[in-house]
Amino acid sequence: MAPNMLILASASPRREKLLGQIGVKPSLIIAANIEEIPEKAERPSDFAKRMAFAKALQVSISNQDRYILAADTVVAIGRTIIPKAETEDDVRDFIKRLGGRNHRVYGGICLIKPGGRVLQRLIETRVFMRRLSNDELSSYIAFGDWRGKAGGYAIQGRAAKYIKKISGSYSNVVGLDIYTTAKLLRGCGLVVG
């Protein structure tokens, strides 16, 4: 397959970097512009899959001769979705809720092939973040790498020192499960390094 056939439907530099780890360089990166709002009573896992599909579908409409790869990351406590943190109040609330308990990170992956065939995968990772003291939380908030991150943290950033354990894919928590993605791409004949 020609190397110029893959489009990454994401503006996330983390996803591009994760693809680079497996030797994949998309020919184009096109951020999908969709509303990321859960439907009433929608499960976090279903929301992750639906968002990945919606992103891929939007980009595929004008690129039907290419492979379109999209992903979405959803942090959840039970059936409650913890959204992206946009303000200091958001992150303070989210980290207090996540601290001292297990939560799940769902990664929806969608690959649309030329001709419209859709391949979807869902990855689940369990994460345990310890409780932060008020001073630790204030320091974490001041550092600022939580902005725009699902659940208010980036596991590859400052929050790493508060993560006691994970069960499942680390790269899923970063933004894209590279094992599953490599398997999907290889199955379609794309070269994975």
Q: Encoding tokens for residue 126?
A: 């369990």
Say which of 72, 89, 90, 135 is annotated catalytic.
Answer: 72
Task: Using the CB atoms, write b or e for 84-121: b if 16+ within 10 Å.
Answer: bbeeeebbbebbebbbeeebbbbbbbbbbbeeeeebbb
Helix (H, G, I), strand (E, B) or coil at 156: coil
**Which residues, 6 or more positions from 127, have their beta carbon under 8 angstroms from its beta carbon?**
102, 103, 104, 105, 155, 163, 165, 166, 173
Contact predicate 66/7, CB 8 Å: yes
Name the residue with tokens 């065939």. 117
Q: Is 72 a catalytic residue?
A: yes
Name the residue with tokens 């639906």. 50
Phi and psi torsions of 161, nearest 5°: -75, -10
Name the residue with tokens 């990321």. 36
Give the residue numbers marked as catalytic. 72
